Structure 1
Amino acid sequence: MARSDTSATRVRALLEHEGHGTYAEEAGIRLKDTPQPLYQLLVLAHLLSARIRAETAVATARALFDAGMRSPRRMRDATWQERVDVLGEGGYRRYDERTSTQLGEEAELVLAEYGGDLRRMRAAADGSVELLRSELQEMPGIGPAGADIFLREVQGIWPELSPYLDERALRGARRAHLPTDPAALAGLVPREDLPLLAAALVRASLRRDTADSSG
């Protein structure tokens, strides 16, 4: 079997095993190029970047959105204690107080710098992935990991980012015996499925990390 055929078979197997949708889909975010879902993705990336189980971060994002904190204005206008309470309900107790503060500051920055619309951040980056990654890290609580999460998920609707497969995703590719060149990986799925592939690769990487640490 040719190498490309082998890789395609492995990708299909990976997506069958780990392809439970993107992280945004798990959190109930109907991602499209409009302000509210883009902001919700930012919140999800913030929560996922902490040293906490991905399932907990996703559940906490859902809890925040269910509590009405779906936009930067609603997040900012919620009291610090309201945010703490919802974070705790979602299982985010280790980081609830600090994260409540950061989410409030982050929402205020999104409103002040971008009028609540992260498409303005995209426009300011003018196609530069590195500039966009740097601007994301200006947000309170968003470091390199959080920026990578946001960019992996948003590449399906911001095509100038594709293929965005960071080191975490490429680690999953190595463990799945797939190519570790982003362009080669991207060639194995339709462009619109890149966020799904990235999420599956990350899940594979995280699952292996958990197995290694418990072995």
Structure 2
Amino acid sequence: MARVEELLAEHGTTYAAEAGITLADKPQPLYRLLVLTTLLSTRINAELAVAAAKELPRSPSAMRASTWQERVDALGRAHYVRYDESTSTHLGEAADFVRERYRDDLRRMNDAAGKDPRQLEKLVAEFPRIGRTGAQIFCREAQAVWPWLRPYFDQRALRGADKAGLPGDPRRLARLVSGDDVARLAAALVRVGLAKTGRRR
């Protein structure tokens, strides 16, 4: 479908890819996605959140080893300054939480969620600052490496589909692309929808 190919070409970069995260079903990239999700879960420009993700420690152990001020400084280098102090605190708390709950391996959320997307949302929302909106961001991106999540199109993506003249049913949308491109299509639809509303995520 020409419209879908156009959307993927123009807007089909996931936030993880934009942040330089090569997503894989491995502890480090999944943790980096969680950090990016935390950064995107505030009312701040997504470009700043993506830039900040590149500056921060890349594993929960490295995050725990960093000081609060080092994290503030990393956020400052990316101009993520409006919420830098509270975000530094939450990132430290989340690094502790991922050790206590998942032994530093977020793949364990698969079993904890019973491979139920709604349950995964709830588990992700338990991390400091993330909440329901952030959980949906995480799931949209994680479906790239966790096929059981597909198709995951939240309300932001479905609003984008409506504006792009595409079906509003997640399964019909997923049939428009190969399985590996479902996450890219969801990202494209979110970007289209947010561009038209002036919002950022």
- Above 0.5 in TM-score? yes
- Pair 1:134-2:122 in alignment: yes
Partner of 1:93, secondary structure, is coil
1:35 to partner: Cα distance: 0.3
Match of 1:63 among 52, 55, 58: 55
1:30 to partner: Cα distance: 1.0
1:150 to partner: Cα distance: 0.7
Identity of paired residues, percent?
Answer: 56
Match of 1:96 among 51, 69, 84: 84
Structure 1 unaligned residues grouped into runs of 5+: 1-7
1:16 to partner: Cα distance: 2.3
- Pair 1:152-2:153 in alignment: no
Partner of 1:92, secondary structure, is coil
Deviation track 1:115-145 (CA, whole Å, cap 9, x = no partner) reads 0000111111111111111011110011111
Q: Which residue of 2 aligns with 1:14?
A: 7
For residue 77 of structure 1, what is the amino acid of its counterpart?
Answer: A
For residue 25 of structure 2, what is the amino acid of its counterpart?
Answer: D
- Pair 1:40-2:32 in alignment: yes
For residue 70 of structure 1, what is the amino acid of its counterpart?
Answer: R
CA–CA distance in structure 1, aligned partners of residues 140 and 122 of structure 2: 15
- Pair 1:49-2:41 in alignment: yes
Higher Rg of the two aligned structures: 1
CA–CA distance in structure 1, aligned partners of residues 116 and 170 of structure 2: 17
- Normalising to structure 1: TM-score of the pair? 0.90
Structure 2 unaligned residues grouped into runs of 5+: none
Q: Which residue of 2 aligns with 1:114?
A: 102
Give the number of equivalent residue pairs.
Answer: 199
CA–CA distance in structure 1, aligned partners of residues 54 and 194 of structure 2: 21
For residue 122 of structure 2, what is the amino acid of its counterpart?
Answer: S
CA–CA distance in structure 1, aligned partners of residues 9 and 120 of structure 2: 32
For residue 81 of structure 2, what is the amino acid of its counterpart?
Answer: R
CA–CA distance in structure 1, aligned partners of residues 21 and 191 of structure 2: 18
For residue 43 of structure 2, what is the amino acid of its counterpart?
Answer: R
CA–CA distance in structure 1, aligned partners of residues 55 and 92 of structure 2: 16
- Pair 1:181-2:165 in alignment: no
CA–CA distance in structure 1, aligned partners of residues 79 and 197 of structure 2: 21
Partner of 1:94, secondary structure, is coil
For residue 150 of structure 1, what is the amino acid of its counterpart?
Answer: F
For residue 36 of structure 2, what is the amino acid of its counterpart?
Answer: L
CA–CA distance in structure 2, aligned partners of residues 24 and 41 of structure 1: 6
CA–CA distance in structure 2, aligned partners of residues 48 and 207 of structure 1: 16
1:53 to partner: Cα distance: 1.1
CA–CA distance in structure 1, aligned partners of residues 187 and 79 of structure 2: 22
Partner of 2:83, secondary structure, is helix
Q: Which residue of 2 aligns with 1:4?
A: none
Partner of 2:126, secondary structure, is coil
- Pair 1:196-2:184 in alignment: yes
- Normalising to structure 2: TM-score of the pair? 0.96
For residue 134 of structure 1, what is the amino acid of its counterpart?
Answer: K
Q: Which residue of 2 aligns with 1:87?
A: 75
CA–CA distance in structure 1, aligned partners of residues 64 and 26 of structure 2: 19
